[in-house]
Structures are given as C-alpha cells and as structure tokens.
Structure 1
Amino acid sequence: MSSLTVQDLTKSFTATAPVLTGVDLHVPSGSFTALLGPSGCGKTTLLRLIAGFDDPDSGTVALGDRVVAGAGRSVAARRRGIGFVPQEGGLFPHLTVAGNISFGLPRRQRREGGRVRELLALVGLDAELADRAPHQLSGGQQQRVALARALAPEPSLVLLDEPFSSLDAALREETRLAVSQALRATGATAVLVTHDQAEALSMADQVAVLRGGRLVQLTDPRTLYRRPGDLDVATFVGEAVVLDADLRDGLAHCALGALPYEQASTGAVPDGRARVLLRPEQLRLSAPDPGAPIARVRSVDFYGHDSRVWLDLPDGGTVSARLDGADLPRAGDDVAISVRGTALAFPAGHGAALPAPAPLG
C-alpha cells in the first residue's frame, strides 16, 4: 500500500466557478481518511482527480513517490493501481459474484478460485454466494462484493464514493462495519467520500472537511468533534449549542451562566463579546433551582437509546440537550440547566447564524 499526497490541487469546469481551490491532503500509508462536506463542496471531484477519471487544472497527485497527475504527466486511471468502489457497487450484471471479484485478476488466479474465496471471507460473505448473480444479493452484499473486487488486485489505494448511501440505516451500519474491518485487515490505504458525519467520525483515522472547494480542517475524529476549526465546521460535524457570550474574569458569561472556556484553535479570543460552543451532551437537566439557569421544555425527540430535548431559554433562544432515554422531562416542564466540561470560545461574529429553533411537537 502507498501513501497519497495531494498538493495545491485546483479544478474548474467553468471559468467563473472553481470546484477545488488549492487543496493539500496527505493520507499516510495504511490509514483511512474520510472526505466530509456538504453536497457540491468538491468531494467527488477530488476523488475523481485522485482516481484519474479527470485531470486537475494545476497541482499534483502522488502515490508514494510516484506522481500520477500534474507536473507535466497524467498516468491513466487503469495504470494507477487504485481500487474504486462506486455508490451503487457498479457490479457487472452479466457476471457472477466470483466473476465480478476476479475480473481484474490474472487468468491463473481466476481459474483457481482461491483468491475469490479468500476475499469473500475477508468481507464477511459466505463462499456459497460465489455463483450467484448480483441481482440475487442484498444491497449490503453487493457493496461488499464491490469492495472485494476493488481489493482483489491488491491496489496501492482504495477509493470509496459514498458506498453506503443507498442502504437503509440498519444495513448501512452492518455493511460499513464489515467494510472497515476488511480494509484494516488488509492494511489498505483508503479514502472515503461521505456527507454522513457519523460515518466519517466512526470509520476514519483522519477526517478532511471540505467547504466551497477548500480543505478547511484535517484532523482525527475526536479533535474534529471537540475542537472544530470554526463554528461552521462545528455545526456540520454534529449537533451544536452556539451562544453569544461575554468573556471576562476567565469565564464565558452567557444564557447558561458563567462557564469555564477554552480558546478555539483559530487563535486567542480577547475578553469581550464572543460566541461559545457546547455539545448537547454537555447539558444536564434537573428540577428547577433558583441558583441555576431555568428553561422550559419545548419538545422531546425520543430515539430509544437516547433523546434530544429542545429547550426555550428566557432570552428567547433555543438549545438542545442530549440525554439518555430514562426519566425524561415533558413538554411544558421547567428545568434547571447545568453544563459539564468547558465551552469553546470563538470571536464574535464567527461562523454561521445560530441554529433555527426546532419545530413544535
């Protein structure tokens, strides 16, 4: 397996609308990176440039020490040694599972069949499926076969373009776990394109967040969630409580009281007006207490394993708390709010507008 290095990559399809602008990305050998961002941010374009399906306007793509795009050269996609797993699997309908997996293998390995059985086991599928046609498989099974086909020739890099987007929730979780285990078992270097935050955070060693054709943050999942580079990243990678605050005397004074805070990675925030970030799971609710901030429960979204409680604050703001599924308040209840841990401070005016209140119900 090889590392992947992208340097100063740009791509435009029209003169006035660049899709990628100066993207730098390094994926260490044997690691898993997720490209995360909203629709239209350039994720799939970046993947296609790496794969060799399109050429960049400028910049370079290198696999290990081998430059495959830019610097006056463009190695054809079929010669880059890259495995590709598309959104819908892209299996050949006229071939069996075994035929699909062995498609890119030397003739001898195709005849022997051992590599096919090995790969089916690797992706968690029974060897009895080898003679089935793709339409006889579930969506999750098709995606695993697509991964097995991509891994068959032992590529230097595996690219996955939203491979779980068409699966239902339960099948998506099962399939992505099997795919993740298979990639790690082979030591593959992998890049996943996704707009699913949970998918990126749970699968990847590092997450690259793209916005408007630029890479705005590259870090490990825990740092991304706990110390996002800006409030737009914060609200994109998870639920967020964003409040106006006044920083003084080492505390952030806001609608939830005087909170300890840390400086955002963007730099020191001076005393005075600021915005602070909390995650909903940091909020704790209890019976009303005159010494604590009081809020009224607007609504409760029950998910079984946990719940989201929407709260109206006295200043007119709305925040959400994430609680376990037991002993939940009811709509209309008054509750006291306490905060666990520290807030993250950003300069005033930083990031997008505050999240809109949840609908009643």
Structure 2
Amino acid sequence: MSSLTVTGVTSSYGATPVLTGVDLHVPEGGLTALLGPSGCGKTTLLRLIAGFDDPDSGSIDIGGRLVAGPGRSVAARRRRIGFVPQEGGLFPHLTVAGNVAFGLPRRQRRDAGRIDALLTLVGLDAGLAQRSPHQLSGGQQQRVALARALAPEPSLVLLDEPFSSLDASLREETRQAVADALAASGATAVLVTHDQSEALSMADEVAVLRGGRLVQLADPRTLYRSPRDLDVATFVGESVVLDAEIRDGQAHSALGVLPLEGSCADGPARVLLRPEQLRLAPPSPGAPSARVRGVDFFGHDARVRLELPSGLALSARLEGWDLPTAGADVSVGVVGAALPFPAGAADTPATPVVA
C-alpha cells in the first residue's frame, strides 16, 4: 500500500469553484475520512484522486508517483486504486466469486483459495461464493464490493459513502467489518462520508471540508474535543454554545462560572460544551436552573431538551436509565472545561447528522 499526498488542488464546474487549494496527506496504511455537508467538495476530491476527473491546478501523488499535476494525468485504470461505490456496484449476472475474481489479474481468477481468503478477510463465509448478489443482504454486498476492491492489492482504496443505504444496525456492523478488513490488509484508504459518527468511529484522521477548503485535519478525539472553530464544533457533534464573559481565566455564563480549556483574553466570548458534560439534579438554591421541555429516548442514552430562564434552549446527553420528565424543573451542573471562541463566532453551520 502507498501514501497519498494532495497538494494545492483546485477544481471548478464551469465558473463555480468547488475545491480551492486543498492539501491533504494520508500516510501509508492509514484511513482518513473526508467529512463535510453536501456540496463541500468531498466527492469531487475523491473523483480527482481516483482519476475520474482532472484538477484545474495542484498535484496528486500516490506512493511517490505523480498521478495528476501540471502536464501529467495518469488514467484511472493505471493508478492501482480500489474503489467501493455507494451502492456496492456488484455485477448482477456474476456470482459472489465472479465479482471478487473480476478484481483479480486474469491468471488468478480461477484460484478458489484466493477468493475464499478475500471473503474471509471481509468477514464473509466462503460458502457464499456461489450466491448471486440479490441473495445477499445490503451489508454483505458492501463487503463483497470491498473484497473485489482489495483483490488486486491496490495502492489505495477509496470508499464513497459505502454505508449510506444501509439501516442503522446493519450500517454499524458493516462499517466495523470494513474497518477491520482494511486494517488487516494494511490498506491505505480514504472514506467519503457526511455521517459524523461514522467518521469519528472508523478513521485514524478526519479531514473536515467546508466550502471547498480543508478546514481541519485531526485524529477523531482531537477533532471532537478541540475543534478549530465553532462551525467545525457544531458539525462534528451536538453542542452547547453559550455567550460568556471571560475574567481571570474563567467563563461567566448562564450555566455559572466555568473553567476554560487553554488560555483566553478577558472580555466577551462564546464557549463550547458538549451535551454529555451537563449533569441534571433536583432544583437547588443558587444553582443554574432549567425546565425540561422534552426527552428523546434512544435506549442506551437520551437527549434531554432544556430551556433556561432566559429562554435559551440547550440539550443534555444522559444515560438512559434515570431521566427527568417533561415539565420538570432541574438544576444544571457542568463537568469538565469549556472551550472558548471569539465573541462573534458563528455556530449555525449545516445541520449535523445525529446517530
């Protein structure tokens, strides 16, 4: 497998810019997710890497080999890239074995042992080899598509929202199997997704695109806990954003005096908390108070929708076994530190997908 380096890539559709100077490096054996709302340029970037389109400027390097750049464009079929499309793209007239073998060099296509090994790698029983694609579940079809992509031992594997058509439980099971298979094969991979939980749970690094620019590249924990700006913060997860006054390294807010993560100049600011940092208790004199406006129950946990006396709406994320009821008055406490941002920072980007 090989590393991927994208340098200064731009792309436009007619007079409309789509990508504006994107730099990205995916190390050998790494899995990087391209995350962003619809129209941010992530699928365009994937197509440029695959060789389906050419960039207007900039360069793309795979394993030390320039495949796109000034005066050079290597055809898609010569880039040694495995591609897993959104719907799997299996050939309906071929068996599972036939689909996987299609990705192999011609001389290896009759090697049943090699096909069985590839099916095992993606978590499928080799006994499925003679079935037709329509006899498989959606998750099984996606795993066959991955086996086909991995068969020729490509330099790079590209996955274009491969789980978007699956139901929630099957999506989680399938993406774990795909992540395990990619890790076991040592593949370098790029995953395009608009699903934050998918990116955070699968990828070694997440590249957040917004308006054709790469605005942050970080490991999932860093991205979630230390987002570069409020737009990133509110896109990669649920958030509680409060106006605050910074004094002596603390934020004075509607939820009381909060410690800060890192230093910040005194004055007006906006601070970020995650809903799981909020703790609810019976009303207590002197404690910040709120009224429960509703509870969204998910089984393992729940989102409790709150309204502060000022009218500000926010949410707490609590374990599912002990929850307040709608209409109840509660006190609100905070665990951990708040992350400060400039007072004029925006916090209303595209609506995030909540698992």
Please give the range of the TM-score, normalised by the shorter of the 2 chains.
over 0.9
Partner of 2:7: 7
TM-superposed CA distance for 1:353, in Å, is 4.3
TM-superposed CA distance for 1:283, in Å, is 0.2
Partner of 2:163: 164
SS in 2 for 1:45: helix
Q: Number of matched residues? A: 351
In 1, the alpha carbon distance for the partners of 2:322 and 2:120 equals 44
Deviation sequence 1:169-198 (CA, Å, 0-9, x none) = 011011001100000000100000000000
In 1, the alpha carbon distance for the partners of 2:110 and 2:75 equals 28
SS in 2 for 1:258: strand
Partner of 1:87: 86
State the one-letter code of the partner of 1:331. Answer: A
TM-superposed CA distance for 1:270, in Å, is 2.1
TM-superposed CA distance for 1:269, in Å, is 3.8
Quickly say closer, same or farther: Cα 1:55–1:315, change in 2 above 3 A: same
Quick check: 2:304–2:318 contact (8 Å CA) kept in 1?
A: yes
SS in 2 for 1:239: coil
In 2, the alpha carbon distance for the partners of 1:282 and 1:191 equals 32
In 2, the alpha carbon distance for the partners of 1:23 and 1:11 equals 10
In 1, the alpha carbon distance for the partners of 2:347 and 2:64 equals 40
Quick check: 2:249–2:264 contact (8 Å CA) kept in 1?
A: no
User: How much is the aligned-residue C-alpha RMSD, in angstroms?
Assistant: 1.3
Partner of 1:100: 99
State the one-letter code of the partner of 2:309. Answer: P
Partner of 1:359: none
TM-score, normalised via structure 1 length:
0.95
Partner of 1:110: 109
TM-superposed CA distance for 1:114, in Å, is 1.5
SS in 1 for 2:316: strand
In 2, the alpha carbon distance for the partners of 1:353 and 1:4 equals 33
Quickly say closer, same or farther: Cα 1:355–1:348, change in 2 above 3 A: farther
Matched, 1:321 2:320: no
TM-superposed CA distance for 1:108, in Å, is 2.8
State the one-letter code of the partner of 1:121. Answer: T
SS in 1 for 2:99: helix
2:288 to 293, 301, 304: 293
Partner of 1:342: 337
SS in 2 for 1:102: helix
Quick check: 2:231–2:349 contact (8 Å CA) kept in 1?
A: no
In 1, the alpha carbon distance for the partners of 2:2 and 2:106 equals 26
TM-superposed CA distance for 1:355, in Å, is 11
State the one-letter code of the partner of 1:232. Answer: D
Deviation sequence 1:103-151 (CA, Å, 0-9, x none) = 1322331112221100000011111111111111111110000000000
TM-score, normalised via structure 2 length:
0.97
Partner of 1:182: 181
Partner of 2:266: 271
Percent of residue pairs bearing the same amino acid type = 77
Aligned pairs for 1:44-193 within 5 A: 44-193=43-192
In 1, the alpha carbon distance for the partners of 2:251 and 2:66 equals 49
Quick check: 1:240–1:280 contact (8 Å CA) kept in 2?
A: yes
Quick check: 1:269–1:347 contact (8 Å CA) kept in 2?
A: no
